Structure 1
Amino acid sequence: MPDDNDIRIAGDHPSRERPEENILDHTAQELEREKRNGNLERARQLGALVAGEMWASDSESLFGADAAEGGQGLFERRLLYAFAASTGLERYTPNQLCARTALSSFYDVLKKEAPDLYDQLENSFAFSFYYLDLRRGQRVPADIGKSFAMLCNREDDPVYARLGEALYLRFLDVIEAQAKSLHFVVEPGGDQ
């Protein structure tokens, strides 16, 4: 016959019984903290800055461009910039909530201000190549450069591979500088 010590009362270990409640509670606390300290607004601003840089007529995506690249080259540069935005916004914001907010803002601004470019991004498969390069994780910038060259139909051109690598690194530097200029707050208890 069991004694009273063998009986477990519901609620003794709520984290074991209802983990989804703990996750929701943590997410709500994180959301409130990031709203209060201004990081969500900073993330929205960062996404808009990064998007504005992408489609501006004097944008970073045009850095070092020449007429020989043509329209396809410009398009591939912008795709690479968008990929750098997705990785850079995650890297240079204090947590996943801010990263998701910044990326959402990035795409919202593109959709509104450059709808043709937004549609082209949605229909491109270039991100698949770049994500594979990222997941391999060995020589990410060099591999991304090779994918860039291939997407530009210049897979045998080492100059294009180095160009893609240099552009990716430059785009990340630009995004990092933009993030630093917004002075995100990093609080104890945050993701990082």
Structure 2
Amino acid sequence: MSYKEDSDIKIFSGSQADADEDFLRQIEALDHHRHNGNIEKARQLGRNLYELVKEDAGREKDVDPEFKEGKMPVKAGVLAMFTAEAALNMYLPSTQLSTIAIAELHRLLAKINSPVYEKILESPAYSFYYLCLRKGGDDAVEEIGRAFSEHCRHEGEEKYVRYGRYIYEVVTKEVLKQIALMDFAD
């Protein structure tokens, strides 16, 4: 048998009935969220987070001035956006609602044509932060801080690790607060 021959490979897929059933469940869930107001709440959540994100990140009084200069606001923005998206995916009652909230947040950020937003979209750091969360466990926040310090080219420097943890914790707390204010229906 040549290396191009694939007669010994079997590909098993679910039946069309399974795919149709899954599709119908998704439609039913979307319809449920539409009728109970959750879709509009998810959009509003995206708008609320946009209002928080678009404000000057340098407004934090406790932040070291070094983190307000050069590329640091963009690097902090990347982590903040990742954290907001991760928290929405983790804490909203469904992935459909998190997708709607994230899409609204991105739609509004793209609308203002921010060069910082473009850099956030192009950043490879999302992958590293995602891996930190995938590992999970009690060290996830610490790992996020370490990944942030590496992204800033200050690997292991405690000041950078601490700031990365701070961004992750503050943004997660704010997203949880905003989700609670929306009072999503079951």
TM range (shorter): 0.7 to 0.9
- Letter of the structure 2 residue corresponding to residue 44 of structure 1: R
Match of 1:84 in 2: 83
Match of 2:92 in 1: 93
Structure 2: tracts of 5 or more residues without a match: 1-13
Deviation digits for residues 54-86 of structure 1 (CA, Å, limit 9, x no counterpart): 1212678x4632322213221111111101111
Deviation digits for residues 77-117 of structure 1 (CA, Å, limit 9, x no counterpart): 11111011111111221111101111111111111124322
Cα pair 1:53 1:59 within 8 Å, conserved: no
Determine the C-alpha separation between the residues in 2 that align with 1:28 and 1:88. 24
Does the residue aligned with 2:70 lie in a helix, a strand or coil? helix
Cα pair 1:145 1:161 within 8 Å, conserved: yes
Match of 2:66 in 1: 68
Determine the C-alpha separation between the residues in 2 that align with 1:143 and 1:63. 25
Deviation digits for residues 126-156 of structure 1 (CA, Å, limit 9, x no counterpart): 1011011111213110000001111122213
Cα pair 2:57 2:73 within 8 Å, conserved: no
Match of 1:174 in 2: 174
2:101 maps to 1:102: yes
Task: For residue 51 of structure 1, report the CA deviation from its aligned partner.
Answer: 2.2
Trace 1:33-44 onto structure 2 (pairs within 5 A): 33-44=32-43
Cα pair 1:43 1:98 within 8 Å, conserved: yes
RMSD over aligned Cα, in angstroms?
2.0
Amino-acid identity (%) = 25
Does the residue aligned with 2:183 lie in a helix, a strand or coil? coil
Greater Cα shift, 72-81 or 115-124: 115-124
2:8 maps to 1:20: no
Does the residue aligned with 2:118 lie in a helix, a strand or coil? helix
Greater Cα shift, 66-75 or 98-107: 66-75
Determine the C-alpha separation between the residues in 1 that align with 2:33 and 2:58. 30
- Letter of the structure 1 residue corresponding to residue 140 of structure 2: V
The verdict on how the C-alpha distance between 1:75 and 1:114 changes in structure 2, with shifts beyond 3 A counting, is same
Determine the C-alpha separation between the residues in 1 that align with 2:127 and 2:89. 18
Structure 1: tracts of 5 or more residues without a match: 1-14, 187-192
Determine the C-alpha separation between the residues in 2 that align with 1:54 and 1:31. 27
Determine the C-alpha separation between the residues in 1 that align with 2:61 and 2:19. 47
Determine the C-alpha separation between the residues in 2 that align with 1:172 and 1:80. 11
The verdict on how the C-alpha distance between 1:103 and 1:163 changes in structure 2, with shifts beyond 3 A counting, is same
Task: For residue 17 of structure 1, report the CA deviation from its aligned partner.
Answer: 6.0
Determine the C-alpha separation between the residues in 2 that align with 1:155 and 1:111. 31
- Letter of the structure 2 residue corresponding to residue 21 of structure 1: D
Cα pair 2:129 2:144 within 8 Å, conserved: yes
Q: TM-score, normalised by structure 1?
A: 0.82
Task: For residue 158 of structure 1, report the CA deviation from its aligned partner.
Answer: 1.1
